[in-house]
A and B are shown apart, each in its own frame.
Chain A
Amino acid sequence: MPDNPPKQDRRAGNTPIWRENGPSTRLLEASGVEVEIGGVPILRGADLRLEAGKLTAVVGPNGAGKSTLVRAVSGLQKMTAGSARWQGREVSEMRGRELAGLRAFVPQRMPVPAGITVREAVTIGRSARLRPLRRLTGEDYEGIARALERARVTRFAERALTTLSGGELQRVQIAIGLAQEAPVLIADEPTSQLDLGAAIGVAGLLRDLVGEGLAVLLVVHDLALAAAIADTVVVVSEGRTVATGAAAEVLDHERLATVWAADARLTSHEGRTALHVAWLQQPR
């Protein structure tokens, strides 16, 4: 360890970012994020910024470190170096309850406990806003109803989680996150286990939430989907963020070849996106 000390944050001690950049548009500023798991480096230097009312998609090949990046900035995975600041405050220095008010993390698939209804699950999500042993107030019940409504799950709020389809369950997971009423919603591959129709439903829901002013960060495998819904695409390759920008700019033919080893082109026309892949050819 002595020859590789953790990097110091260059910004430490400076004015909080949200003050430099006007009224709290910059919600997360992460730079030089490194993560080692069991001595194996998974992330070797990743940067990420999130702003209110923007959808950011993290894309990259399997094992590139996409999930590790979003888990690290969320405080679910310890960083070995680098900095992740939520509204100017370093993630590692915050208590769980404070962090819960700044970001909600929606895992790919949560376990489904028996005999728990959708409303009860969302109520558990709301508990993030309560002090230990405090009871729910009228305001909390309103918050729960609002989260159910925003995630479009009110219709089946009294059903047991065990009876839901994959798409319905994913929306309930989003509702649990929304009940935290954090300005940022982070979801790890929310659509990858869903059929086309369910994926469209979840994508539309996330886009609407962005329209309401939420910042959304997604890990996405489907590049055509990422191009259709993201304001910013972040490409992760071999533990590093190698490009950040609009989908059309960062997912060009050359990058698809170097990062994914694919001969492919992304096209976009009137809100319809497609990835044209030469499935049986290696890129030249």
Chain B
Amino acid sequence: MARRTLVFAALVVALLAAVIASLALGAVKVPAGEVIDILLGKGDGGSDQQIIEALRLPRTVEAMIVGAALGIAGAVLQGALANPLASPDVIGVTGGAGFGAILIIILFPGSIALLPVGALFFGLLAATLVFAFAWSGRNRGSTGKVILAGIAMLSLFTAGTTGLLAAYPERAPSAIFFIAGGLTSSGWQELEVIWPYFAVGFIIAACLIRPLDRLALGDDVAASLGSRPQLIRLAAGIAAALLAAASAAIAGLLGFLGLVVPHVVRMAGGTSSHTFVVPASAIGGAALLAAGDTLARTLRAPIEMPVGPFMVLLGVPLFLWLLRKAV
């Protein structure tokens, strides 16, 4: 119990540190004390306050929401499918969202504002197809069927994406930022459109914490306790699809985060109880993405690099270190 509390506290501290760094660092450096004053509404209304409120705060909030969403998406999927390799990739969302975004970038470069909509639409479409196939015929809703249908759908949409990139090689460079995954300083406008998808995803995930703990003891125990295992899996898939598609719409393809963060918090906390893993994955994902984004836009400022590779640089050593110690 104490270990979990400690890990949770460490994650919260890491998140606070990442958030303050994300708000303080950039082309103009703002001292941490002033950042805190501005956040508490005690700013002097100067240029620092404008930079933080108009540019860095929306971006930091995006990083926190997307990081939390991907962490939760991975945690509920790994729990629902009882498979450590589960992530938004395996229910087709990442493949679909990637295809939707590249379709807009390459075929409708004039309407780039539609990119989040394309990513969201195709991400959810891919997940819907996966669940339609996995929930038909015999053995419907079984883990194996969901994962196999997901991998088939991922291959299909990835092939579509590669086909588009190969057909229009001159437009491929503008797609790289999306594929690598990255946030932009475009204010609140994306979140204003996408937030309901995050909200519904977060609410479903919160309701799934107890059912997922039951499912961890097997379908029969879950059924004995009054749950319907297939319904839990379907709800987890819907929550993860919403969260991952909305994340892709804002920050591109960051599937790695959803795979690794739940494992890191499970190994660090020494428990697979979802009461701990789901909230801890949210905090951990938010901290990791906020930190990664800060690095990505400050290391070679003013050039912004995609955040995906930086998160991998931060996350993989931690993951491997914990993996070595895990039983």
- Whether a CB of chain B sits under 8 angstroms from the CB of A121 is yes
Given A95-B226, A133-B207, answer yes or no on A124-B214 (Cβ-Cβ < 8 Å). yes
Question: Which of B206, B225, B270 is in CB contact (< 8 Å) with A124?
Answer: B225
Q: Which residues of B contact A132 (CB under 8 A)?
A: 207, 210
Q: Which residues of A contact B216 (CB under 8 A)?
A: 111, 113, 116, 124
- Whether a CB of chain A sits under 8 angstroms from the CB of B228 is yes
B225 and A125 contact, CB distance less than 8 A: yes
- Shortest distance from the beta carbon of A183 to any chain B beta carbon, whole Å: 14
A176 and B221 contact, CB distance less than 8 A: yes
Question: Which of B138, B207, B226, B273 is in CB contact (< 8 Å) with A97?
Answer: B226
- Whether a CB of chain A sits under 8 angstroms from the CB of B271 is yes
Question: Which of B206, B210, B220, B226 is in CB contact (< 8 Å) with A100?
Answer: B226
Contact-size category for A: 20 to 34
B225 and A127 contact, CB distance less than 8 A: yes
- Whether a CB of chain A sits under 8 angstroms from the CB of B167 is no
B225 and A128 contact, CB distance less than 8 A: yes
Chain A residue with minimal CB distance to B221?
A: A110
- Whether a CB of chain B sits under 8 angstroms from the CB of A75 is yes
Kindly specify which of A55-63, A101-109, A138-146, A251-259 makes contact with the partner chain. Answer: A101-109
**Residue interface bits A71-110, CB-to-B below 8 A is 1, else 0:** 0001110000000000000000001111110011111001
Q: Which residues of A contact B271 (CB under 8 A)?
A: 114-116
Question: Which of A95, A127, A180 is in CB contact (< 8 Å) with B210?
Answer: A127
A110 and B273 contact, CB distance less than 8 A: no
Complex Cα–Cα for A128 and B221 (A): 10
A113 and B217 contact, CB distance less than 8 A: yes
Determine which residue in A104, A115, A173 has the highest number of CB atoms from chain B within 10 A of its CB, and name it.
Answer: A115
Determine which residue in A99, A103, A110 has the highest number of CB atoms from chain B within 10 A of its CB, and name it.
Answer: A110
Q: Which residues of B contact A173 (CB under 8 A)?
A: 221
Chain B residue with minimal CB distance to A188?
A: B220
Q: Which residues of A contact B220 (CB under 8 A)?
A: 76, 105, 107, 110
Complex Cα–Cα for A121 and B273 (A): 10
Complex Cα–Cα for A120 and B213 (A): 10
Chain B residue with minimal CB distance to A128?
A: B225
A75 and B223 contact, CB distance less than 8 A: yes
- Whether a CB of chain B sits under 8 angstroms from the CB of A38 is yes
Chain B residue with minimal CB distance to A100?
A: B226
Complex Cα–Cα for A110 and B82 (A): 13
Q: Which residues of B contact A113 (CB under 8 A)?
A: 216-217, 272
- Whether a CB of chain A sits under 8 angstroms from the CB of B298 is no
Determine which residue in B218, B223, B270, B272 has the highest number of CB atoms from chain A within 10 A of its CB, and name it.
Answer: B223
Interface residues of B (CB under 8 A from A): 82, 138, 206-207, 210, 213-214, 216-218, 220-221, 223-228, 266, 269-273, 327
5 new A-B pairs (CB below 8 Å) besides A125-B221, A130-B210?
Answer: A38-B138, A74-B223, A98-B226, A116-B272, A127-B214
Q: Identify 18 residue pairs between A and B in the complex whose beta-carbon atoms are under 8 Å apart, listed by A's number.
A: A38-B138, A74-B224, A95-B226, A107-B221, A111-B82, A111-B218, A114-B327, A115-B266, A115-B269, A121-B217, A124-B221, A125-B225, A127-B210, A127-B214, A133-B207, A173-B221, A177-B224, A180-B224
Interface residues of A (CB under 8 A from B): 38, 74-76, 95-100, 103-107, 110-111, 113-116, 120-121, 124-125, 127-128, 130, 132-133, 173, 176-177, 180
